[in-house]
Amino acid sequence: MNDAPVPVLPADHPLADGRTTGSALLRALRGERTGPRAVWFMRQAGRSLPEYRAAREGVGMLESCLRPDLAAEITLQPVRRHHVDAAIFFSDIVVPLRLAGVDVDIVPGRGPVLGSPVRTASDVAALPSLEDVDFTAIREAVALTVSELGGTPLIGFAGAPFTLAAYLVEGGPSRDHLGPRTLMHADPETWQALTTWAADLSGAFLRAQLEAGASACQLFDSWAGSLSAADYEAHAAPASARAFAHVADLPVPRIHFGTGTGELLPAMHAAGATAVGVDYRLPLDEASRRLGGVVPLQGNIDPALLAAPWNVLEPHVRDVLRRGDAAPGHVVNLGHGVPPSTEPDVLTRVVDLVHEVPQ
Ligand SMILES: Cc1c2[nH]c(c1CCC(=O)O)Cc1[nH]c(c(CCC(=O)O)c1C)Cc1[nH]c(c(CCC(=O)O)c1C)Cc1[nH]c(c(C)c1CCC(=O)O)C2
């Protein structure tokens, strides 16, 4: 397993201006347990917020990600409103595909859709070169965001190669990911070439965000839970490790998250993560046990309970905090993204509760 401690930023490192070193997020991700807990929410920027819907009016999803002023504004909205302990960069796992020149769009209510799916050796060979992908819009958006955030850290992110490849092979969202799961066995060489390409693209996207000032990063492998542990280890983890390797020399924490990954947590950690995100299906004390009790965890309030009455949600949040105490560090989050129908005040109330409960 990968038990390497997160390196502390040397004072003369170009990324180390000390802004966020003492923040609740970075302390928890280093395995420290002092002061109030850190809390943020996956998909905290998005349709649950009226100010997001107003900012996005008439602007396509990918276009809004590529306009630095708009991406920065949307990233900051949930920090202002909920007083969360981290911003997550407003972007999408398919933004680097678009920047590389792949024909992809995000269809409202559906998700990423490709102009043509990538299924054969010649499809993979025809993918654009990654030599000169231009991340200028991303760097500008991150720099703008960080200049407004002060001591609150920004988390950069990318899609893990398996989840990206799942969209590329299917050509759009799917339930069972049959296409990629067939391909990895039927034509492992093509699969390996595809996931290597995706790893280098996601790795470059992460690196651009970190070099521009993000303080931590997260690799989203949302659909990894559709794989058996054996398939994950053989056909997905090596490419995730390759994506993380692009930023392993930077002294920032690396979070690895997927859904339905209870059986995959040790392999996800071993791929080069310094902290592991856990979905709502597995209690954090059990997740920590599976990781040998040495890995900081992130999670795992059930997003479904955000719509339940407070007298149901509050004990659930307290239970998550108690179970999270089993891990060396705990970043409180949801077990998956904020549902668009969530009442924003509920999230603010959860943040207040998490900050009140002593650890
Ligand atoms: C699988 C995946 C995608 N995108 C992402 C993942 C991994 C996380 C996860 O599992 O949820 C990651 C993502 N997408 C978005 C963020 C932004 C930051 C944040 O978390 O606040 C992040 C981290 C914005 C977004 N990405 C998307 C939206 C909604 C677009 C809108 O507001 O119209 C947002 C805010 C679009 C998107 N993009 C994707 C989907 C499935 C969708 C939803 C389609 C829909 O329901 O309309 C692909």
The finding on whether 209 has its CB within 6 A of some atom of ligand 1 is no
How confident is the model over 3-62, as pLDDT tens digits?
A: 445 555 555 555 656 899 999 999 999 999 989 999 999 999 999 999 999 999 999 999
Residue 11 within a domain: no
The stretches in the chain having pLDDT less than 50 are: 1-4
The finding on whether 168 has its CB within 6 A of some atom of ligand 1 is no
Domain count, the chain: 1
Q: In the prediction, which pLDDT does 258 show?
A: 98
- CA of 160: how far to CAs of 27, 62, 139, 349, in Å? 25, 19, 20, 32
Consult the annotation and say whether 167 binds a ligand.
Answer: yes
Query: What's phi and psi for 188, nearest 5 deg?
Result: -60, -30
Residue 23 within a domain: no
Consult the annotation and say whether 207 binds a ligand.
Answer: no
pTM of the model: 0.95
Q: Whose CA is nearest to atom 14 of ligand 1?
A: 92
Residue 56 within a domain: yes
Q: In the prediction, which pLDDT does 2 show?
A: 47
Q: Residues 44, 48, 53, 55: is their CA dihedral positive or negative? A: negative
- Give the CATH number of the domain where residue 113 resides: 3.20.20.210
Residue 1 within a domain: no
Residue 32 within a domain: no
Q: In the prediction, which pLDDT does 316 show?
A: 98
Q: Name the residue with tokens 């990954």.
A: 261
Owning domain of residue 207: 37-356
- Active-site residues, by number, are 43, 47, 56, 92, 167
What the block records as the tokens of 282 is: 């597995």
- Tell me the ipTM for this assembly: 0.94
The finding on whether 153 has its CB within 6 A of some atom of ligand 1 is no
Residue 17 within a domain: no
Residue 219 within a domain: yes
Q: Please say whether the beta carbons of 95 and 167 come within 8 A.
A: no
- DSSP H helical ranges for the chain: 24-29, 50-56, 61-65, 68-82, 95-100, 121-125, 136-149, 161-170, 178-186, 188-211, 229-235, 237-245, 265-270, 284-290, 310-324, 344-356
**Rounded to the nearest whole angstrom, what is the distance from the C-alpha of residue 43 to the centroid of ligand 1?**
7
Nearest to 270 by CA among 300, 250, 290, 299: 290
Q: Whose CA is nearest to atom 34 of ligand 1?
A: 46
Residue 16 within a domain: no
